[in-house]
Amino acid sequence: DGGITQSPKYLFRKEGQNVTLSCEQNLNHDAMYWYRQDPGQGLRLIYYSQIVNDFQKGDIAEGYSVSREKKESFPLTVTSAQKNPTAFYLCASSTGPEGHGYTFGSGTRLTVV
Amino acid sequence: GQQLNQSPQSMFIQEGEDVSMNCTSSSIFNTWLWYKQEPGEGPVLLIALYKAGELTSNGRLTAQFGITRKDSFLNISASIPSDVGIYFCAGRSNAGGTSYGKLTFGQGTILTVHP
């Protein structure tokens, strides 16, 4: 079955360490997105990519980095420069501008101690 | 940039009651979408709307694309405990530039249903 997979589901890291969250999709979608969600809050866009080898900053890109070397994969690195990294991270994909909305992964909960 | 105002922020209702929530935008959208997010999971698409005035149902859920193209409504009839979750509206504009195709999300409505 086609879908979008985020791993791991739960991640614990020490303060000051970089950590990479995985996002893989087999939907043949061109566009991929990373969102951050804090408890009881909405979705804030971190980065997005509309095509391989290209990506754009979202509203809260500081302290994060991404790569898009393959169509299927869009990993997110949370760097030590991110001041408050503990959050729920959601990856999504879509067919592009005329697609039927986004398909979301099941999320990764990152806790930094 | 584009903004969506979603209301109410939260609702506490009794099982069997009907629910209404809405989103308004400062600009025109060409697509309106409604998602539901259950605790610890990603949002799942409930209803997609593509034409002004369109009214679409999905079981007990009904959504409408406002005629002005700046608003949308979601109604849930005869709520049940499994309706609990966060409901998000999202809009897409076909305007050019880097925002082309990207969804703008509302802040979400947290729904609690008491048995």
**DSSP, residue by residue, A68-95:** -SBTTB--EEE-TT-S---EEEEEEEES
Chain A residue closest in CA terms to B4:
A42
Query: In this predicted structure, what is the pLDDT of residue A2?
Result: 75
Take residue B21 and report the two structure tokens written for it: 């929530």
Query: In this predicted structure, what is the pLDDT of residue B2?
Result: 60
Q: Is the pLDDT confidence value at B17 over 60? A: yes
Take residue A94 and report the two structure tokens written for it: 């879509």
A50 contacts on B by Cβ (under 8 Å): 101
A16-71 pLDDT per residue, tens: 999 999 999 999 999 999 999 998 778 999 999 999 999 999 999 999 999 999 99
Take residue A96 and report the two structure tokens written for it: 């592009």
Q: What average pLDDT score do residues A63-82 get?
A: 96
Name residues 83-112 of chain B within 8 A of A (Cβ). 88, 90, 92, 94, 98, 100-103, 105-108, 110
B51's CB contacts (< 8 A; 6+ apart) are B65
% chain A with pLDDT above 90: 79
Query: In this predicted structure, what is the pLDDT of residue A92?
Result: 95
- B105/A43 touch (CB, cutoff 8 Å), yes or no: yes
* CA distance linking residue A78 with residue B62, whole number of Å: 39
Q: What average pLDDT score do residues B32-51 get?
A: 94
CA atoms within 13 A on the CB side of A90: 23
Q: Which of A80, A70, A32, A59 is nearest to B2 (CA)?
A: A59
Q: Is the pLDDT confidence value at B8 over 70? A: yes
Q: Is the pLDDT confidence value at A99 over 80? A: no
Confidence category of residue A1, pLDDT binned at 50, 70, 90: low
Query: In this predicted structure, what is the pLDDT of residue B96?
Result: 55
Q: Give the mean pLDDT of chain A.
A: 92
Which of B103, B106, B107 has its CB closest to that of A102?
Answer: B103
Strand A19-25, strand A64-66: pairing: unpaired
Query: In this predicted structure, what is the pLDDT of residue A8?
Result: 95
- A100/B48 touch (CB, cutoff 8 Å), yes or no: yes
B51-108 pLDDT per residue, tens: 999 999 999 999 999 999 999 999 999 999 999 999 999 998 866 555 556 788 999 9
Take residue A91 and report the two structure tokens written for it: 């990856």
Confidence category of residue A101, pLDDT binned at 50, 70, 90: confident
* CA distance linking residue A34 with residue A107, whole number of Å: 10
Q: What is the dihedral of CA A84, B38, A46, A111, to 10 degrees?
A: 30
